[in-house]
Structure 1
Amino acid sequence: MESPERITLAGRLRNNFLTGLIICAPLAITIWLTFAFIDWADSWVTPYIPQRYNPQYYFDITIPGLGLLIAMILITVIGFLVKNLIGRSIVNFGESILNRTPLVRTLYKSLKQIFETVLKDQSTSFKKVGLVEFPSPGTWALVFIATEAQGELAHRFNEMGQEMIAVFLPPTPVPTAGFLMFVPKEKLIILDMSPEDAAKLLISGGLIAPEWTPRPVVN
């Protein structure tokens, strides 16, 4: 049987290890993902850089992030050019070709609409978090609030006398896929937490709950 001193020492070592793991694991994973993304970007962009413009050709060394940097500069330049009349005309011409191409036009329009919705400054999509009863009454699920029902969906719901909200229900612990659901507005509980805090709560499986201060009651 181990003595109390040995048990205490083992407990301290275990606690120290867990503390170090909590500090090192997120840092190591973040660094690994960052360099993996840089390597992925370099593998796509660097092969298309002419040798005379590639510093690696002259210095015979690998420069991490060169491809990513060039891609960011190129995207920024394209965004600048598109704002003028000539650039806009070129983009419209390219889009007209894509819009005449079967299959490709559907994919392009869908992706463009998604990026415009997500990146638009005035967009309110996924800026709020809520709770809905799912999958059964009395059981609540965390959802990201997208927008109010629009178009034909809004018309159909109005015929039923209901005001519906589109929400995204992600799974745990990897919220990269999920369910798009339309729920009655009165059955949606809107939370104060930010989407970032909600993502942390989902990824941690409910272990990392955001801090919350109750709003003062106004009499």
Structure 2
Amino acid sequence: MKKYFVAGLLVWLPLTVTIWVLSWLLGALDGVFVSLLSATQIVLPQSTHETVEYLRGVPGLGVAVVLLVLLLSGVFAANFVGQWWLRQWDALMARIPIVKSIYSSVKQVSDTLFSSSGNAFREAVLVQYPRQGSWTIAFVTGKPGGEVAGHLPGEYVSVYVPTTPNPTSGFFLMMPRADVHVLKMSVDEALKYVISMGVVAPPGTEPPALRN
């Protein structure tokens, strides 16, 4: 009975988790659309409220509208005029107290993570953490800079050590370059290895030298 139960669990668990993640994502997108409709009811005349309520009840419309807005925003931001307006917007946000700290921090992180020229998660490495003799997978995010670099003797690299099975949380470490062992596995393979808690292991390969 236990054998059959585990076999059935292995069949349904990936599908269930996939559906749950997609449902959460669609719900989040639909929630953004509903919030926008609620905001429009405040500024639009009373005669349009029935139309707004009708749009609120259309299934899937919120997801489609949010995706369309994201697509159009990307097209706008990719051209010369859009980039000029974005620079003006960033300059405006930088002048607002408190807001500038949050906005600039989030923008720097998002630009690093999602930009095609960003340096985040450039390669997977093997490091000793949280103590000597214990090894874990980490991701190189760059090199220490500014005042911090001046206090570090020798050559150091910045690494991110993800937690498992949720790699969105973790620890930022600055380690000597000599203590970081590069893995030939791709970043995607390393993430799968971390998320699966070591169950889904990528094929073994010879480690290359650290890239600059």
- TM-score w.r.t. the length of structure 2 is 0.80
Alignment of 1:61-210 (within 5 A): 62-64=58-60, 66-157=61-152, 160=153, 162-210=154-202
Q: Do residues 27 (structure 1) and 8 (structure 2) align?
A: no
Task: Give 1:172's aligned amino acid.
Answer: T
Separation (CA, whole Å) in 1 of partners of 2:35 and 2:171: 39
Matched-pair contact (CA < 8 Å) for 1:127–1:194: no
Q: 1:56, 1:63 within 8 Å by CA — same for their partners in 2?
A: no
SS in 2 for 1:143: strand
1:77 positional shift: 1.4
Give the stretch that moved more between structures: 20-29 or 199-208: 199-208
Residue 36 (structure 2) aligns with: 48
Between 38-47 and 100-109, the greater mean CA deviation after superposition: 38-47
Alignment partners' CA distance in 2, 1:84 and 1:192: 37
Q: Cα offset for 1:175?
A: 2.1
One-letter identity of the residue aligned with 2:98: L
Provide the secondary structure at the position in 2 that maps to 1:202.
helix
C-alpha displacement at 1:45, in angstroms?
0.9
In structure 2, distance between residues paired with 1:213 and 1:183: 24
Q: RMSD in angstroms over aligned alpha carbons?
A: 2.6
How many angstroms does 1:41 deviate by? 1.1
Letter in structure 2 aligned against 1:29: V
> By how many angstroms is 1:127 displaced?
2.9
- Whether the 8 Å CA contact 1:56–1:62 is kept in 2: the answer is no
Alignment correspondent of 2:204: 212
Tell me the secondary structure at the aligned position of residue 124 of structure 1.
Answer: coil
Shift of 1:47: 4.7
Deviation of 1:24 (Å): 0.8
* Amino acid aligned to 2:115: K
CA distance in 1, matches of 2:206, 2:85: 53
- Given the two structures, how large is their TM-score scaled by the length of structure 1? 0.78
Distance 2:11 2:52 in 1: 37
Distance 1:197 1:88, change over 3 A: closer
* Change over 3 Å in CA distance of 1:28–1:74 after alignment to 2: same
Identity %: 27
Deviation at 1:94, TM superposition (A): 2.3
- What amino acid is aligned across from residue 62 of structure 1 in structure 2? V
Quote the residue 2:44 is aligned against.
none
Paired letter, 1:57: Y
Structure 2 stretches lacking a partner, 5+ long: 41-47, 208-212
The letter of the residue matching 1:90 is W
Q: CA deviation at 1:213?
A: 4.5
Evaluate the alpha carbon distance shift between residue 127 and residue 22 of structure 1 in structure 2; reply closer, same or farther with a 3 A threshold.
farther
Q: Report deviation, 1:198.
A: 2.0
- Residue 57 in 1 paired to residue 45 in 2? no
